[in-house]
Structure formats: structure tokens, C-alpha cells
Structure 1
């Protein structure tokens, strides 16, 4: 069943990006936040931890190496906290959080009294890099041969817009959504060019928000508020495509959708990709899709029938939330099921061609927030090893 890999990257065995942070790094970050250590002392420990996690990825056979997001507190850090025009607000009023957004609805049920966030209060502009320093630092701990495969994960461009709805930006700054996203797109274009110039060829947008459009709870909540959810999804698709305008042809761009990966394995939304599949696969100008498929809440493989021939899908079949290892035979069976469905999809193709469009990974990262999931470093290694072993048995070594 071995076939030739025609996409480089992603690789047959991939992972989402974030990895389990060691306890000493979490302690040092807490000390830094309390001003009990210097930025340099924190950076030294980050460097040591990243070197170890790079070695682990290399040892198990993961080629799309990341820094585990060890320099971030949350997976979405990097863009809006570095962009001129965004204002950090320590306690955002409750009504500025849209309760039709699934994770915000969950937080409000926990007596959520408001939290820190970013609101656009001025013209948005990239005056300093978002992720280039993280990429440059990762290069120092990897070989020149590995540099083209290093992966940088990025915040979704609509992150704060969906969360804050009409409060996302001041109307005296931007008259409408298209104006707001036009400047965001320029910032992303500049960042992507800078990453490319630094040698980055593999980026991944982390976007649970698009998966929220699969959730009946959000659709119902938007309808009740008089929001045209189809038009809003179209706005976000335009934003993505504008962000990627002019990007180099040899830079792989992935899009990761999940349904929440909070503490103790908590998720925020349910619903298959059926509702958005046609637009997701055919209108967003990315190369590959990282899709959660570790539980029934993600629905069936049926939406994959809309996958075009020039794109790939990374099936998140292995959970990052809990310790028990998946059954390898079951993983292989599910990959073959997906390939059969793709081959008989809207654009019919030979089974082996469909199989060549598939990769496998965990369904999400192991630490969307700094504390991470309730799994050990040993479990992380075992899960990634399982992904690699399964991919080799399906596609052969690569």
C-alpha cells in the first residue's frame, strides 16, 4: 500500500502544534508573572525545554517540528497582542462577550464575570513581528535540512471579531467588517512574507471558530440575534483569502478546526462539518485541513466527499485529551474508510489517489493553554509514536 508522498509538507504523520509543557517551565512562567525572575531567565528555561521537545519529535519520527508553543500562554497568542490599534482591557464587560459563541456560553455558566481581552480602538497595523522571533529561535535548535519542514501555528484572523461581535472594533475607526479585516489582512500578508523570508515554509492557522459554525447552538443563537450566519461565514472566508493573498506557492498553509480543548478534556461545541464543508474545502485558499475526528461529536466522514483533488486532509483520529492509546487497527480502518469516501466523492478519483490526500494526527494539540491536558509527557510521546507507526503501516516509510 506504500505510495509516493506528493505534498511536502504536510507529512503523513503530523501533529497540531502545542505539546505538554514541563512543570519547571510552568513554575518559571508563574515566577516571571510575579516578577520573581527576569525575562532572560524565563527564556533560558524555554530554550532548554524546546530543545528537549524538538528531540522528542525527532526521536518518534515527527518531521513537521514545532516549538510546542512553549513561549505562549494560549494557542492564539501572537497576533492581536502585538498589533497596533488593539487595546488590552483587563475586564471586558459581560455583554461584550457574545453568548452564542459556544465557549463563551460555557464560561458564563461558570459564573464568568468578565475577563481580559483585546478590543480594536485604533487603526490596525503590524509594526513588529508576530511569530518570526519564535521561528528564528526554533531554527537554532534544528538542522538546516529540517528548516523547510518547521511549522509555525498562527491565530485565526477572526478570533476577537466573533467573540465580541459589534464590540470588536470602534465604529469611528472602521465603518464595517470589510474595512476592519482589510487592515488585518495587510498585517497577515506582511507577517507571512517575513516568515517566508526567514525560511518558514509551513504555517497552520488554529481556528476552532469555523467549527463553531457547525454547532446548532451557535446558529440558533445567531438567528435569535438577527445575525446572518451565512454572510458572516462568507466574511471570514474573504478575510482568510485576503490574508493569504500573494503568499508564495511553495509555502504550505494548513487550517486546523476543533471543538475546544480546554482543561480536563472539555469541549465546547458539537456537530459534523456537513454544514460548512462545501465552502470550507472549496472557497478557502489553503492547502490542507486538520480536522478533529476522535469522537462522534465531529460527525461522519461524509463531508470529505467535497474535498477537491488539489488539497489534503489531516484526520485527527488520535485524542490528545486522555491517556489511553487508540487501537492501531481501528485507526487504519478509519483511514481506509475516509479514502473510500473521498474517492467516490463529488470529484471521483482512484482510491489510491484519495489515500494519498490523507494524513493522520492527534485531533488537537496537547496544550491549547499553558497548563495543558491531563496527560503526561510519556503519553504525548506514545500518542505521537502511534501516529507515526500507523502512518508507516498505511503508506510506508517517508
Structure 2
């Protein structure tokens, strides 16, 4: 049976362009010039307006735009006991084969100002994402609660970046023990979200897409690290994180190749490097994949997609304001469907049931966002909705 989610063919990734009023108030808060309550009031107003706008545009799987975060990966590790903030980290703490790490250190304007390392036993002792969900739940109709989508940090985020520096060996003698406590914390978080009514989550994970980059594969090999072994560890980590998730909780996974200032990306390489493991071994139902430029390769890896899973095609860029051609997008969706059909021995029409459409990434993976205006975001999301209606007669 084909996965019934995402429930709508027109999707968006999660982050939206933050309004100037929100950025200004957050700057005040960071400078100690306003209270958290005053900041939260502006956040609430901005989120309410964003949800209304998404619904009006036909994007029914709503998020809060990540308006309460500075970076897309905020919310998990920084709320986990045992993780410590490291200000002005030295290059020696990082693995320079990681594409975005190399990009940061090469850019005078983007060197990492801080990072986090595991210095103690990892324990989840408080809700992490539940407050974000609860506010969204309060502003939608009861029948729309199931459509709320929460975006989550990748569990292996700091491990790939820091390797042997990621955790204290006196606390965790082995990687397996370190990963086990991360997975336990995620299982607890997902259970808490489910109890609050959340039925749709999306892990944001550019790291898995980095395993498509030959530069990283070569760099890891040069350091005596077997990339396929690390990828297997990460897939097992994901499966351990979600193993207790109820069957009606949708687990989504978003992969991209970087979405930083001025539309900056960090890596290139097609999904053929990871597609069999990604689609057939990792226990997610929905994959949100970057496909707006040639750097993501062709649609051929979609032949590895099982019939009970869905791919959301990120054919529309969130990095720049120029609008894609509607008919070209329709053509590309059909091309993608042909590879899904080929892999499963089914018709194009059947394969289209396993596809949906979105921008390739969020519009603001970090607070400042991409070089697009609020009007540009509306135009892009309206295009997503219009193309979805043209391809899928059940898209509304």
C-alpha cells in the first residue's frame, strides 16, 4: 500500500522568511532590551500570520516557519543534558572533510562562532519541541491538528562534524553507547509529541546528502574512515530513534546540500551514492529531496524507492526569487514518476501517487534567510500549489 502521507501534494520544507518585526525584536532580546515574554508575543503573531498564509496558498501541512529558532537544527541538542556549548571553537575540533565545515572556515564571514560537544551523560529531562507544537495546535481547527508538521534536528549532526571530538570517551567509551543515548532521547521526545497530538515530523538532515559528495568520501577515506560504515551507523541511529513511533506518526526526512547566506550551498553529488540504503533501509515514510539544480544529479535513483514510500520533489528553489516555468516543472515530475514506475514495475499514474512537490529547502535555514522577499516566498509557494493541482487531480 502506498504511504498516505504527505497528505497533500503541495508541500513546503519548514522554514519561512522571518518578518522584519520579528528579527528586530529578537535582536532586542539578544541585547537584553526586552523580555522573553515580549519576544514570544511577536513570535506568536508572526506564526499565526504565517499559518494563515500557508493555508490560503493551499499548503495544508503547516509549520511555524521555525520562527522561534535561529538555526534549523536548534531545539534538540541544546536542550539535552550532557551537551556543552563551546565558544569560538578551533579548527582542530572539526572534520574538514565535512562540506559545510570546509565552507565555513574558508569564508571569513562565516566561521563557526560556537558549537556543542558531549561532555556528560546525555539525558532528556524536559520537553524540547512540544511547546512549538502546542502553540500551532492552539491556532488551527481541531480537524487540522493532524496536518501540523514539526521539523527536528538531525541526530548525527555533531558527530559527523567533530568525529572523535564529538563526545568525551570517559563518559561514553564507545560510539554505540553515545548513539544509544541520543536515540533514547529522540524516542522520548517523539512519544511526548505524539501524546500532544503530533502526527507528522520531518528530520532536517543535510548530512546524509553529504555522503553523495565525492569530496567528503575522499576526505574520510584519506583519514582511514570508511564512509559506508559511518552511513550504516547513521541509518541505524535513525532507526533506533524512530523504532517506537506509532504507525500513524509520519516520519519524514529532508536532505539538501546546504542553504546558507546568499543562497550558498556546500556540496554536490547525486543520490545514487546512497539511494538503496536511504530508501530501503532507513525507516522513514517520506523523503524531501533537493532537485532544483544539476548538483543533485538525475532522477534515476528514484527507481530504488519502494512502493510504500513517498518522495517530495524539491524542484523549486528557495534560494533565489526567479520563478520556475510551470510546464517544465510538470514535465520533470512526470520524468521522476517514470523512474519510480520503472523500479517497481508499475504505471506512471501509479508512480505519481508516490510523489509530491515542494521547494528544495526552507526559505530561512538561519534567521537572516535567503535573498528572497516575503512576496517572493508567496509566489514560490503559490507555484508549488498551482503545479500540484495541474499534476494531481486530488490536490486541493
Q: Name the TM-score, length of structure 1 as normaliser.
A: 0.97
Q: Which residue of 1 aligns with 2:392?
A: 395
Give the match for residue 103 of structure 1.
Answer: 100
Q: Does structure 1 retain, via aligned residues, the 8 Å contact 2:84–2:117?
A: yes
User: Which residue in the other structure is 1:333 paired with?
Assistant: 331
Match of 1:58 in 2: 55
Q: Is the 8 A contact 1:10 1:252 kept in 2?
A: no
Residue 285 of structure 1 aligns with which residue? 283
In 2, the alpha carbon distance for the partners of 1:225 and 1:180 equals: 22
Evaluate the alpha carbon distance shift between residue 113 and residue 321 of structure 1 in structure 2; reply closer, same or farther with a 3 A threshold: closer
CA contact (8 A) 1:93 1:114 kept: no
Report the counterpart of residue 198 of structure 1 in structure 2.
196
CA distance in 2: counterparts of 1:163 and 1:10, whole angstroms: 34
Determine the structure 1 residue equivalent to 2:168: 170
Deviation per CA, 1:266-310: give whole Å up to 9, x if none.
100000001101100000000010000000000000100100001
Q: What is the Cα-based RMSD across aligned positions, in Å?
A: 1.3
1:42 aligns with 2:60: no
- Cα distance change of structure 1 residues 198 and 295 upon mapping to structure 2, 3 Å threshold: same
| Structure 1 position 114, deviation (Å) | 5.2
Task: Report deviation, 1:108.
Answer: 1.1
Partner of 1:239 in structure 2?
Answer: 237
**Aligned partners of 2:89 and 2:221: how far apart in 1?**
24
Structure-2 separation of matches of 1:355 and 1:284? 22
Question: Would you say the 8 A contact 2:8–2:61 is kept in 1?
Answer: yes
SS in 2 for 1:123: strand
1:369 partnered with 2:345: no
Work out the CA distance in 2 between the residues paired with 1:148 and 1:24: 30
Aligned 8 A contact 1:94 1:113 in 2 = no
Q: Which residue of 2 aligns with 1:379?
A: 376
Give the Cα separation in 1 of the matches to 2:81 and 2:348: 49
Which residue of structure 1 lines up, in the alignment, with residue 88 of structure 2?
A: 91
Alignment check: 8 A CA contact 2:289 2:313 kept: yes
Contact 2:334–2:348 at 8 Å: present in 1 too? no
Q: Name segments (4+ residues, structure 1) moved above 2 Å.
A: 111-115
Partner residue, 2:267: 269
**Is structure 2 residue 113 aligned with structure 1 residue 132?**
no
3-state DSSP class of the match of 1:256?
Answer: strand
- 1:366 to partner: Cα distance: 0.2
Q: How high is the TM-score relative to the length of structure 2?
A: 0.98
Alignment check: 8 A CA contact 1:132 1:198 kept: yes
Task: Count how many residue pairs are aligned between Structure 1 and Structure 2.
Answer: 394
Superposed displacement of residue 5, structure 1: 9.1
Give the match's secondary structure for 2:78.
coil
- Residue-by-residue CA offset, 1:156-178 (whole Å, 9 max, x unaligned): 00000001111000000111111
Q: Describe the SS at the equivalent of 1:261.
A: coil
134-143 or 360-369: which moved more?
Answer: 134-143
2:21 and 2:342 mapped to 1: Cα distance? 50
- Contact 2:2–2:307 under 8 Å retained in 1: no
* 8 Å CA contact retained: 1:94, 1:114: no
Structure 1: gaps (5+ residues): none
Residue 146 of structure 1 aligns to a residue whose secondary structure is: helix
C-alpha distance in 1 between matches for 2:31 and 2:137: 30
Quickly say closer, same or farther: Cα 1:106–1:8, change in 2 above 3 A: closer
- Output the CA distance in 1 between the equivalents of 2:223 and 2:339: 37
What's 2:298 paired with? 300
* 1:314-353 residue CA offsets vs partner (Å, 9 max, x unmatched): 00000000001110000000000011111111x3222211
Matched, 1:216 2:214: yes
CA distance in 2, matches of 1:8, 1:277: 20
Distance 1:380 1:5 in 2: 31
Instruction: Out of 195-204 and 134-143, give the one that drifted further.
Output: 134-143
Deviation of 1:142 after TM superposition, in Å, equals 1.2
